[in-house]
Amino acid sequence: MDSTFAKLIESLHPKFEALMRMPPCQYGNLPKGMPKRGVYLFSENGHHLYVGRSNTIRARYGRHCNPGATHRMAAFAFKLAREMTASYKPGDDSRTGLMLNSEFRAAFDAAKARIRQMEFRFIEETDQNTQALLEIYCTLALNAKYNDFNTH
């Protein structure tokens, strides 16, 4: 194995443990001194649901759950709404089409409200390669059911 990659892999579990030790915060109570870049986790009732990564964690958090966030900004909410209401058919207009459905739109708005109630954790990681691998590591270690790494 490449030594640089092996060293990076060795760093993942300690970062994962630090993420899990972090006291969770919630909507309206994000710390002022939170890092700009890193990996984040949404959990609900002890179930770890979604892991993400961002170079602007605070702004990304808002895009997941703010009432004005669109389906393109709030992918996690879109997945929750899709699970609650409709089967999803791939295609250029499928996301937009679902957003025109009043039942789906209500579920999408409810999903963003649900995310606002979830526990939120994060850990700083500025290196893009480490961010990507840490997101995958955390997703697999936590069996985060709303993550997938399918290509589009």
Q: What is the pLDDT of residues 110-135, one digit of tens each?
A: 999 999 999 999 999 999 999 999 99
Burial class (CB in 10 A: 0-12, 13-18, 19+), 57: buried
Show Cβ contacts of residue 131 under 8 Å, excluding neighbours closer than 6 positions: 37, 38, 39, 53, 125
What residue type is assigned to position 90 of the chain? P
> What pLDDT is recorded for position 148?
83
- Using CA atoms, how far apart are residues 82 and 76, in angstroms rounded to an integer? 10
